[in-house]
Amino acid sequence: MGYRNPASYDLSATSPSAQSTVAGPVAAGLENVDSLLILASLTGATGGVLDVYLQTSADGGASWYDYAHFAQKAAGSGVTHHLFSVSRHAQQLTITTVGKDTTPALPANTVVGGSFGDRLRVLFVAGSGTSGGAAQTIELIVAWPP
């Protein structure tokens, strides 16, 4: 079997323009992916804090669980760039409390790691006072096993 070139999924979206929790784009078809490189450029919203999560689903999108929580963005803060990688083969040996569906609970600046199900989605949580969203860029670079 030959090497299969990496591909990417664009999960970019504009964060909410008012206080709310909003599910964003979904990357489906990850069941045969071996590892992911996650690249994100995140900008603070206007008027309120912004939390950006990646959530995983292993049941076709019926249930979503926190997988990663980027550092919280202060109101109006400039762009920050984030990079991390995960592999299905990495063991997660610590029990971690996570949120489910639109009630996230994973602490900021945390990645659960290990298996990432068959899909990932973005979840935005815009805090009190938010009056304008901001463009958020998130890209998943996927690699299949050789």
pLDDT tens per residue, range 43-90: 999 999 999 999 999 999 999 999 999 999 999 999 999 999 999 888
Range of the domain at 70: 7-143
Count of structural domains within the chain = 1
Residue 1 falls inside a structural domain? no
Closest CA to 120 of 11, 7, 3: 11
Residue 56 falls inside a structural domain? yes
Which CATH number goes with the domain that contains 55?
A: 2.60.120.380
Residue 103 falls inside a structural domain? yes
Quick one: pLDDT at residue 6?
Answer: 64
